[in-house]
Structure 1
Amino acid sequence: MGDDLVVRDGERIPRRSLPEFEEAGSFAEAISRDGFFGTAVADKNQYGPLAMMFLLLIVAGVTGIIIKLVASA
């Protein structure tokens, strides 16, 4: 872990090098090529943050439905 950390002038927290990723032409191309979880979790292309927001919405929706079902029982 120590070899790839870089401390820049004026910063105290070291930065790790950027992960490798392949450019995709569109979000649909990124999902079809790398998969949803590959895009969202593994950051295999530049649409990782967008896919992570969609994943957050999906998880929040499922969690809300489960809470509603448990509360009504």
Structure 2
Amino acid sequence: MPGDVRDGERIPRRPLPEFEEAASFAEALQRDGFIGTALGDKNQYGPVAMMVLLLIVAAITGTILRLLRNL
């Protein structure tokens, strides 16, 4: 049950978020959006969307650093 502390644990568990299954990654993005899937964890493709978000942020950061190095 949410809020209960199990043996060996010090921090109570939080309630589980609403979760709906999606047939594919494309359907998950279409239904819940990229931010809802990656950050809101609204379906089972949350970790996949989070990795894609990480790649996007890393590419943007690398591009900015490369442009600043050339100044």
User: How far apart are the structure 2 equivalents of 1:72 and 1:65?
Assistant: 11
* SS across alignment from 1:33: helix
User: How far apart are the structure 1 equivalents of 2:57 and 2:14?
Assistant: 29
Bigger CA drift: 37-46 or 8-17?
Answer: 8-17
* SS across alignment from 1:16: coil
What is the percentage of aligned positions where both structures have the same residue? 70
- RMSD value, Cα: 1.0
Question: Per residue, is there more strand in 1 or in 2?
Answer: 1
- 36, 39, 42: which one aligns with 2:40: 42
How many residues end up aligned between the 2 structures? Answer: 70
Give the counterpart letter for 1:22 in structure 2: E
Give the counterpart letter for 2:33 in structure 1: G
In the TM superposition, 1:1-73 aligns within 5 A as 4-73=2-71
What TM-score, normalized by structure 2, do the two folds share? Answer: 0.91
Partner deviation per Cα, 1:11-45 (whole Å, 9 max, x = no partner): 12221121111110011110011111110011111
Runs of 4+ in 1 over 2 A off after TM superposition: none
